[in-house]
Chains A and B, each alone.
Chain A
Amino acid sequence: MEYVAQQVMNALSFGAEYALLALGLAIVFSIMGLVNFAHGEIIAVGGYTMVAMVALALNNPLIVIAAAVLAATLASVSLERVAFRPVRYADPTTGLLTAFGVSIVLQNLFLLLVSPRPIAVTSLFFLEWPIDLGSIRISSLQLFEALTTVVVIVLMMLFLKRTALGLAMRAAALDFEMVRLTGIRANRVFAAAFMISGLLAGIACIFIMARRGSVDPHLGFDPVLKAFVACVVGGFGSLPGAVLGGFLLGAIEVAILVTLPQSLGGMTDAFVFGIVALLLIWRPEGILASRGEKGDKQ
């Protein structure tokens, strides 16, 4: 019983992390068709901000967390202004390659300006302690992660359904020209999308850092690759699809970790991606992809 509960919590916390990141990727993609490869570097920006805060002797956990989330959000918005504005209306391949280039530049800047080696950040370890629920013992960090993700998803739904900007963003995903004709500024919609994306990455960054306890230039590569795969599985650009894909991927990963013998430990990701490939045979466009015919105005 306890074992099962722990594995379910594992699956939920993995899934929550992927869902947060996948949601951030999907919201940007749905509006401007950009596959944001630089998302992982936004996470790393959060991580390095924590290092900076600790170095400045601002070791209060709340300050560290707030600064990291803020830095990730600002980094995301400024990337949109500096790098992605010239390719805003370009075709997806151009955007994808631009983001890929931005990701490489940032990764190497971390290498060049900070350090190629991991730097330890211990100020978030307080988030982790065992919680006893009856006879079951689970980790507080995983509980926080799952709960935070649920809250974030609910808040985001409220934002998208109840506010004018949210409505504009949903409309922009369908027909951006029409949204502009109604007098809403394109810049605001793009900025909002990147702000939300950065905010989600910042929140994910906290949990990633609390678990790993160190930051290096490649901090974001692994989780963001998983988030991309989650997006593909769910249907690229679909927000519910991103969340579903994230949790599904978390569940698959934990199932593989549980069933695979210890000696095959290094191959977990290979097996996870293998299963995902099988899912994609069944549904090449992703589980929750829109049913529009190719050539329709999306």
Chain B
Amino acid sequence: MTLSRSQKRGLVGAGLLALILIAIGIAVSYFGSRYQLRIVYGAYVNLMVVLALQVFMGNARITNLSHSAFMGIGAYAAAICVTPVSMKAISLPSAPWGLNAFELDPVTSALIALILTGFIALLVGLFIVRLSGIGATIVSLAVLVIVHSLFLYRTDIFKGNQAFFGIPQLFTLTSAVILAVLMVFVVRGFRESRWGIALRASADDEVGASSMGVDFHRLRLIAWVLSGVLLAVAGVAYAYFLGTISARPFYFNHVFLTLAMLILGGMRTVTGAVLGTFLISFGLEWVRWLETGPELLGIDLPEVLGLSGVALGAVIVLTMALRPGGIMGDREIEELILRK
């Protein structure tokens, strides 16, 4: 298999991003406190979500609002498989279909989560890809609401807003960095693949691309399912690190947090996804500190809950008004360094 010019450049770009991700990971694991480690782990999980989101949003250019739901499906599926039977006897005493009567090893559990999420994504995708862009966005929002109401309704399986606890804590920051680096290569690889290029062409000009023989419904479905599987990876990483999950982190707040990350960086590029995630993750820590009402320059600031929400919304609005392509626009990292 020979690589095209853009694919070679894509490898260089993904490699550069990987170096940055590894460097941040090493720096934090040597110098960071426990609390900082947790924050950075969260940032890496969100990075995986944003990368997965970029696969569909960046290439098909259709806004997806259901991604946190798929992350949740992956997290819950893995959690149900991997939690020891003795633990499930306490946390899920009345689960149906013998869900509390078996346990699997972590790798099998993760694989089952990926396959299950991919399958559900395929079923949903069959609807989504047939709709026009805006219809697809609205339906994806409806999907988010349906999945969330399922999590809340079947408390015997998902525990609703209570914590699903007892998941073995298998992952460290190192595992998250490795997964994120792999995902950067997968996502960039998809972007520069035949499918990715054809999909981006159809997003620029649907009629033109169709006349060149691009079946954009099929390509959208491929991107959608790939995105779903990658979201499940993020969900598994989330569950395996924290050891407890609940329905709330997979709902609206997480949707717009990750969406703001992708938009700020620029949804058309993988570099944008990485940049936006880190800018917002660290910026938000600062805003959260302001939110608690600290003392600044001798002035005792009041406590302002909801400030982080306002800041995130403002990031989206300002990016759209001033620079609709996000910070990176159409440029990937290697284009800043290499000559054309």
- Residues of A that sit less than 8 Å from B by CB: 35, 83, 86-87, 90, 92-98, 100-109, 111-112, 116, 225, 228-229, 231-232, 236, 264, 266-267, 269-270, 273-274, 276-277, 280-281, 284-286, 294-295
Chain B residues whose CB sits within 8 angstroms of the CB of A229 once the complex forms: 138-139, 142
Would you give the shortest CB distance from B70 to chain A, in whole angstroms? 16
In the complex, are the beta carbons of A267 and B138 less than 8 A apart? no
In the complex, are the beta carbons of B324 and A111 less than 8 A apart? no
Given known A-B contacts A100-B259, A112-B307, A266-B149, A93 and B61 have beta carbons under 8 A apart:
yes
Distance A280 CA – B142 CA, assembled complex (angstroms): 13
23 contacts between A and B (CB under 8 A): A86-B322, A87-B320, A90-B320, A95-B320, A98-B320, A100-B256, A101-B317, A102-B317, A104-B310, A108-B307, A108-B313, A229-B142, A232-B131, A232-B139, A236-B134, A266-B152, A266-B153, A270-B145, A270-B149, A273-B143, A277-B142, A284-B130, A284-B135
Chain A residues whose CB sits within 8 angstroms of the CB of B313 once the complex forms: 101-108
Would you give the shortest CB distance from B264 to chain A, in whole angstroms? 11
B316 within 8 A of A: yes
A-contact 0/1 string along B283-317, CB 8 Å cutoff:
00000000000000000000011111110111111
Query: How many chain-B residues does the 8 Å CB contact rule pick out?
Result: 45
Chain A residues whose CB sits within 8 angstroms of the CB of B322 once the complex forms: 86
A-B pair count, CB < 8 Å, reads 140
- Residues of B that sit less than 8 Å from A by CB: 61-63, 127, 130-135, 137-139, 141-143, 145-146, 149-150, 152-153, 206-207, 256, 259-260, 263, 304-310, 312-317, 320-322, 324
Given known A-B contacts A103-B313, A270-B146, A97 and B306 have beta carbons under 8 A apart:
no
Would you give the shortest CB distance from B223 to chain A, in whole angstroms? 16
* B144: nearest chain-A partner, CB-CB: A225
Q: Which of B63, B142, B143 contacts A97 (CB 8 A)?
A: B63
Given known A-B contacts A104-B256, A116-B305, A269-B146, A90 and B324 have beta carbons under 8 A apart:
yes
Chain A residues whose CB sits within 8 angstroms of the CB of B133 once the complex forms: 92-93
Given known A-B contacts A96-B137, A107-B309, A284 and B145 have beta carbons under 8 A apart:
no
Distance A101 CA – B313 CA, assembled complex (angstroms): 4
Would you give the shortest CB distance from A182 to chain B, in whole angstroms? 28
Q: What are the 7 tightest A-B residue pairs by CB atom distance, in nearest-first order? A: A101-B316, A108-B309, A104-B313, A105-B313, A112-B306, A111-B306, A101-B317
Given known A-B contacts A94-B324, A101-B313, A269-B146, A280 and B135 have beta carbons under 8 A apart:
yes
Chain B residues whose CB sits within 8 angstroms of the CB of A93 once the complex forms: 61-63, 133
In the complex, are the beta carbons of B139 and A111 less than 8 A apart? no
Chain B residues whose CB sits within 8 angstroms of the CB of A102 once the complex forms: 313, 317
In the complex, are the beta carbons of B305 and A286 less than 8 A apart? no
* B206: nearest chain-A partner, CB-CB: A294
Distance A295 CA – B17 CA, assembled complex (angstroms): 38
Distance A127 CA – B135 CA, assembled complex (angstroms): 36
Chain B residues whose CB sits within 8 angstroms of the CB of A284 once the complex forms: 130-132, 135
Would you give the shortest CB distance from B199 to chain A, in whole angstroms? 15
* A111: nearest chain-B partner, CB-CB: B306
In the complex, are the beta carbons of B207 and A294 less than 8 A apart? yes
Chain B residues whose CB sits within 8 angstroms of the CB of A280 once the complex forms: 127, 130-131, 135, 139
In the complex, are the beta carbons of B316 and A100 less than 8 A apart? yes
Distance A205 CA – B79 CA, assembled complex (angstroms): 42
* A284: nearest chain-B partner, CB-CB: B130
In the complex, are the beta carbons of B127 and A98 less than 8 A apart? no
In the complex, are the beta carbons of B145 and A273 less than 8 A apart? yes
* B141: nearest chain-A partner, CB-CB: A225
Best-buried of B139, B142, B146, B321 by chain A (most CB within 10 Å): B142
In the complex, are the beta carbons of B131 and A267 less than 8 A apart? no
In the complex, are the beta carbons of A105 and B320 less than 8 A apart? no
Would you give the shortest CB distance from B310 to chain A, in whole angstroms? 4
Q: Which of B138, B150, B312, B320 contacts A104 (CB 8 A)?
A: B312
In the complex, are the beta carbons of B149 and A112 less than 8 A apart? no
Chain B residues whose CB sits within 8 angstroms of the CB of A273 once the complex forms: 142-143, 145-146
Distance A264 CA – B153 CA, assembled complex (angstroms): 8
Chain A residues whose CB sits within 8 angstroms of the CB of B307 once the complex forms: 108, 112
Distance A112 CA – B305 CA, assembled complex (angstroms): 6
Q: Which of B61, B149, B152, B310 contacts A108 (CB 8 A)?
A: B310
* A92: nearest chain-B partner, CB-CB: B134
Chain B residues whose CB sits within 8 angstroms of the CB of A270 once the complex forms: 145-146, 149-150
Best-buried of B146, B256, B315 by chain A (most CB within 10 Å): B146
Chain B residues whose CB sits within 8 angstroms of the CB of A266 once the complex forms: 149, 152-153
* B135: nearest chain-A partner, CB-CB: A232
Distance A229 CA – B306 CA, assembled complex (angstroms): 28
In the complex, are the beta carbons of B315 and A101 less than 8 A apart? yes
Q: Which of A35, A228, A269, A276 contacts B149 (CB 8 A)?
A: A269
Q: Which of A35, A97, A116 contacts B320 (CB 8 A)?
A: A97
Would you give the shortest CB distance from B235 to chain A, in whole angstroms? 20
Chain B residues whose CB sits within 8 angstroms of the CB of A277 once the complex forms: 127, 139, 142
In the complex, are the beta carbons of A267 and B149 less than 8 A apart? yes
Chain B residues whose CB sits within 8 angstroms of the CB of A103 once the complex forms: 313
Would you give the shortest CB distance from A49 to chain B, in whole angstroms? 20
Distance A225 CA – B133 CA, assembled complex (angstroms): 17
Distance A83 CA – B153 CA, assembled complex (angstroms): 37
Chain B residues whose CB sits within 8 angstroms of the CB of A236 once the complex forms: 132, 134-135
Distance A121 CA – B152 CA, assembled complex (angstroms): 28
Chain B residues whose CB sits within 8 angstroms of the CB of A286 once the complex forms: 135
Chain B residues whose CB sits within 8 angstroms of the CB of A108 once the complex forms: 306-310, 313
* A112: nearest chain-B partner, CB-CB: B306
* B211: nearest chain-A partner, CB-CB: A295
